[in-house]
Amino acid sequence: MVNREIARVFGLVVALFALLIGFTSYRAVAHDFLTRFSGDTAYSENSNNRRSLLEEETQPRGLILSADGEDLAKSDNVGSESAPRYVRDYPLDDLFAHPVGYSYLDCGRSGLERFYNDALTGRSNEFGTIVDTLLGGTDQGDDLRSNLDVEAQQLATDALGGEPGSIVALEPQTGRVRVMVSVPSYDPNTVADQCSELNNAEGSPILNRATQALYPPGSTMKVITAAAALDSGEFEPTSTVDGRSGIDIGGVPLANFGGQSYGSVDLTTALTNSVNTVWGQVAEQLGARTMFEYMERFGMGEPPPLDLPSAELAPSGVFSKGEPLDAGDPVDIGRVAIGQERLLVTPLQMAEVAATVANGGVRMAPRLGDEVRARDGRVRDEIDPVEVRRVMKASSAEELTEMMANVVREGSGTAAALEGIEVAGKTGTAEVEGGATNQAWFIGFAPRDDPKMAVAVTIERTDGQGGTVAAPIAKEVLQELLQ
Amino acid sequence: MSGRTREFFGLVPVSLLVTAGFTAVLIARSDEIQTVTVTYGAVFLVACLLGHLFIRWRLPYADPYLFPLAALLAAFGLVIIYRINEDLARQQAQWFIFGLALFSLTIVFLRDLRALQRYRYTIAIAGIVLLAMPRILGETQNGAFLAIDLGPISFQPAEFAKLAIIIFLASYLADNREVLLGGRTAAPPLSRTAAIGGAAALVALFLILVLGAPAWPSVLGCVLLAAIAAIVAERPSLKHIGPLLLVWGMAMLMLFVIRDLGSSLMFFGGFLVVLYVATSRLSFVVAGISLFAAGATFFATSVTHVQNRVSAWLDPFDQKLIDMPGGSGQLVQSFFAQSDGGLFGRGLGKSLLYPPGIEQNCTPAPGCASPLVPLPDTDSIYALIANELGLFGAVAVLLVCLLFTARGFRIAVIARDEFTKLLAVGLSAVFALQVFVIVGGVTGAIPLTGVTLPFVSRGGSSLMANFILVALLLILSDGARRAAEEKGQW
């Protein structure tokens, strides 16, 4: 009969269904598993697959809070109760745009929003999330408490008065970043509508000047030179050096500020009055190797260990056509020592220099985040202070502190002096665009004997000098933060 | 345990599935359990029970597993559709009741299916008319002619045409299989088959390797010639092979008329299965497949929307095809949904159906945002099942379909008369092929074309037609098993 044929046809049907099961297994499980070995794009990573992105909008992200608990970023439900859609809201508009960043479906993420994304979406603690789900809670993200200070940030922003520039303030002993200002800023609430425009906007508001902008440091660099001089044991604060203007440095005569000549001066005086020729000679005597050694100890040559995405962190150093140089390259080390040559630094780098001196020569990793907490208040992760390294001996740091205190007491930095609190610091004024305008700087810390706060202030393209425009702002910021 | 009692207990998993499924969806929505929705489930179960009692009354010998398996698939579908949209689930539940009514009517009026044989040409013409209707009255959906709008209802005549064509073929071949091959029902000698096959292989190799002819057309041409040679060697009666050529021509024409590769594959596959079982000649099947392949190749290169479907299948991740309307967007989204489900799925009601902020109850209509995977309630329902119930859930659905097909084939094996055998095999095969066409399309095994997943996808026509299919199979099995029981042979 025909039963043999019927059996064969059924065999074919079974084969077809086996094929279907095979293909379903491939799509559901095998493809993404195999891409781990083949390096092809997994379905879950495919740019056309917006599933995981969209899914994030169904759950509120965690809050980003200031040090005293004010909302810097929160999620609002713009959908309905039964079909929620959470969109980021930044209540303080442009005030914390750079450190906090933004998070939008079509524009991606930046700043803390990006660095702490796993915590904010609740992914950092899978086990905890499963427990939450089993207990019937919603699987929402954890909150991030930052170290940022709203009032000081506001005051610092106002103090810049809209001038392009940057201010960073951090605690020397812990590395806690309390202020991170970059002007011009942008309103992260409007990013969703204009992310591509923002990248090309005039004045580069998207750029975090505190961590990405590379400026010539001017005389603030002399703090590093002085640290190298004292800590190497070759100099003491009382060592004297010829301070005439026009001494050959790197084979070319170097002028002092205003062409002023000094006699034989000690290093304290040379720092107080920012005598270029003295520090140029000191650096030449120390040699490029020692100078670079101390520059690297302070953090130059690599991105700062800050909790921001690496794309938003620039290393400081001596650059040739964008490439970093080291001690083996032909560099005019005498001019590097006074912040000239091709030396470029970020404001965060210079704040770290001040903080390291303030902390007795120990450099702490700067930190924007303080702790990650579940919604119910349980602390999931405390972000402890991390020591990067000892940069110089405590005694060298103490001597340098005294020299810097003298700068504010009677030198170029008197405008930073606070009533009743002794401030240590250093001014800087780098000529840019052929001397037409200045990059003004002040770095410093206070109180001198028990430093609680270190600060770096810089202003782009100003007519003023570090001592006249940057030092007064540093004073205001220190005053606010030391209250 | 009697067959009917087994059927009754077969409905227990159905009731569990309905209850668990509805509860899971409700929990996922964190709604309160509404009495209305629970009522759907209860009504559905009562309807199943009534269906069972009806079978007990009218077809006491019928296969005990077909009805529970169909109900299981329908319950699966109802739960998934309920998860998509409550209103659509209510409609589907109503269609289910209508379907059961039609099922009962079929059983009442077609007590003996041999009666159908008398009307086979009428049925064939009705089938052709049904197929041609959308081309005349309807509008294209993505280039294919598959549906007619009857006010609020979209009628898909192809679902019924598939039954008509299988009935015609089974009936015609049951009467003519002997004469078709001049009374030689034994298989042809192996030496002849080997000689023809070997010659064809040599010619194909010569064409490709020596003359450098394009591979695919050469192979296709040689296979076709070999199959024709094998058929001619049988010296078939031209008078009797004529109607078969007609049916084949119809299937090809249908490809032209409805322009849908998937439904054509389903019809044509059903045709070839019945033909093979009737004649036990692979040569017919090989000739048919190579002709169909030639036709399909022609379509894939000349008709735009078929061409798009094929290129979307060959290279779904080409960004141009993804962005193009009617391109591979639906396919890759369905892959993403399956991948998102993984082994165990996201859980009923827990996958992302719409972008966030869109009400789940937004009826698919203008003004509603489109779901992530287009057509989650019809074409892509398998992708949604894989997404929410995982590989295990999807394979479970496939296995239920396979069991259903197996029960259909079992009827054919038990049956004593040709017509019952051929009709049971044809109906089961067409059911299995329909599953293959849609699931194969959604998983990328074959180009994606829009047919429904039987009993599971939303849609009245599909549910009606498939209930008739179950009714026919049950009638066949009642007759076959009654006869077998009387002879005490099983």
**DSSP secondary structure letters along A256-281:** PGGG----EEEHHHHHHTT-HHHHHH
Residue A100, pLDDT score: 96
Residue B278, pLDDT score: 87
Cβ–Cβ gap A51/B336 under 8 Å: yes
* Order of strands across the sheet that contains A453-462: A177-183, A165-170, A453-462, A437-446, A424-432
Residue B235, pLDDT score: 67
> B260 to chain A, minimum CA–CA distance in Å?
20
Residue A177, pLDDT score: 97
Spatial separation of the C-alpha atoms in residues B412 and A8, rounded to whole Å:
13
A103, A109 contact by CB (below 8 A): yes
Residue A69, pLDDT score: 92
Place of tokens 């489900």: B341
Cβ–Cβ gap A54/B360 under 8 Å: no
Q: Which two tokens stand for residue B396?
A: 């479970």
Spatial separation of the C-alpha atoms in residues B452 and B458, rounded to whole Å:
8
Rounded to the nearest 10°, the torsion over CA A217, A220, A224, A230 is 160
Q: What is the mean pLDDT of residues B159-175?
A: 88
Neighbours of B303 (CB within 10 A): 18
Going from the C-alpha of A380 to that of each of A83, A99, A141, A386, A422, the distances in angstroms are: 29, 22, 11, 18, 39
The answer on pLDDT for B229 being more than 70 is: yes
Q: Among B76-85, B372-381, B407-416, B479-488, where is mean pLDDT lowest?
A: B479-488
Contacts of A307 (CB under 8 A, 6+ apart): A112, A115, A116, A367, A368, A369, A383
- Interface residue A201 vs chain B (CB under 8 A): no
The answer on pLDDT for B280 being more than 90 is: no
Closest residue on chain A to B415 (Cα): A3
Cβ–Cβ gap A19/B276 under 8 Å: no
Q: Which two tokens stand for residue A21?
A: 């099961």
Q: What is the mean pLDDT of residues B397-423?
A: 93
Mean pLDDT, rounded, of chain B = 82
Residue B36, pLDDT score: 62
Spatial separation of the C-alpha atoms in residues A168 and A27, rounded to whole Å:
50
- Interface residue A18 vs chain B (CB under 8 A): no
Fold of A151-187+208-368+388-482: Beta-lactamase (3.40.710)
- Interface residue A55 vs chain B (CB under 8 A): yes
Read off the pLDDT band of B289 (50, 70, 90).
Answer: confident
Write out residues 33-52 of A within 8 Å (CB-CB) of B.
Answer: 42-44, 46, 48-51
Please state, for a pLDDT cut of 90, what percent of chain B lies above it: 23
Query: What are the start-end ranges of the E strands in A230-368?
Result: 240-242, 247-249, 252-254, 264-266, 317-320, 323-324, 343-344, 362-364
B412, B65 contact by CB (below 8 A): no
Residue type, A193: D
pLDDT tens-digit map of B231-255: 777 766 666 677 667 766 776 676 6
User: Could you state, in order of their start, the residue ranges of all structural domains in chain B?
Assistant: 3-188+234-487
Residue A135, pLDDT score: 47
The answer on pLDDT for B220 being more than 80 is: no
Residue B427, pLDDT score: 95
User: Could you state, in order of their start, the residue ranges of all structural domains in chain A?
Assistant: 151-187+208-368+388-482
Q: Which two tokens stand for residue B269?
A: 């596959």
Report phi then psi at A306, rounded to 5: -95, 150
Neighbours of A201 (CB within 10 A): 13
Q: Which helix (H) or strand (E) holds A178?
A: strand A177-183
Contacts of B479 (CB under 8 A, 6+ apart): B61, B112, B113, B415, B420
Q: Is the peptide bond before A184 cis (omega within 30 degrees of 0)?
A: yes
Q: How many CB pairs under 8 A join A and B?
A: 148
List of chain A residues with pLDDT < 70: 1-2, 124-139
Write out residues 82-101 of A within 8 Å (CB-CB) of B.
Answer: 82-86
Closest residue on chain A to B424 (Cα): A6
Q: What is the mean pLDDT of residues B258-264?
A: 76
Contacts of A302 (CB under 8 A, 6+ apart): A296, A315
Residue A137, pLDDT score: 44
Query: What are the start-end ranges of the E strands in A331-419?
Result: 343-344, 362-364, 369-373, 379-382, 387-390
| Chain A residues within 8 A of B439 when measuring between CB atoms | 20, 24
* Order of strands across the sheet that contains A86-89: A86-89, A71-77, A64-65, A143-146, A369-373, A379-382
